[in-house]
Amino acid sequence: MGYKAIYPAETIEAHRAFIARRRATRPSEERRTPTEEEWDAFLAHFEKRKVSIGTCGRAFSSPCVHEHACVRCSLLRPDPAQRGRLQEIRDNLLARVAEAEREGWLGEVEGLKASLAGAEDKLAQIDRQSQKATIILGMPTTRSGDVE
């Protein structure tokens, strides 16, 4: 009963029918085996996702909409090992915001504050990740007197 509630057969059948209809409307060339060059380009995409402070989560063959301002991007998954680097970036941005405000570079202040907010968000993401603890529940035991 619980399995049916989680995986109702009607939903699975409807999804399979949708996939079959979609495949029927799409050109068969889309389901061909990729060439070596296409496969190499696909694998290379994952290498290009690695950046200095983490991993970019953008979709395959999509451009970087933030022009590689990764600290601002919601698709960046920060690497906890790069926390120190992110702190340096944040501290540098704080100094640059102060300089821009002192010099009256209002357009610069706005952009730097956006980057600063991104850096602080990435540091918070790392902090949230590090707070997740593994809870060891141990092995279950049977109570004496229970009938197996």
Mind listing the pLDDT tens digit for each residue in 109-134?
999 999 999 999 999 999 988 777 67
Q: Which residues contact 37 (CB under 8 A, 6 or more apart)?
A: none
Q: Do 117 and 97 touch, CB atoms closer than 8 A?
A: no
pLDDT for the residue 84: 94
Token pair for residue 50? 């690695």
**Pair type for strands 50-51 and 76-78:** unpaired
Pairwise pLDDT comparison (93 vs 74), residue with the higher score: 93
pLDDT tens by residue, 28-69 = 777 788 889 988 888 888 787 888 888 888 777 777 776 668
Token pair for residue 81? 């090992």
Residue 80's CB: how many other CB atoms inside 10 A?
A: 12
Pairwise pLDDT comparison (12 vs 120), residue with the higher score: 120
pLDDT tens by residue, 78-100 = 999 999 999 999 999 999 999 99
* pLDDT, averaged across the chain: 83
pLDDT for the residue 1: 43
Please report, for residues 69, 142, 148, the alpha-carbon distance to residue 145 in angstroms, rounded to integers and kept in the order given: 64, 9, 9
pLDDT for the residue 45: 82
First to last CA, the chain: 24
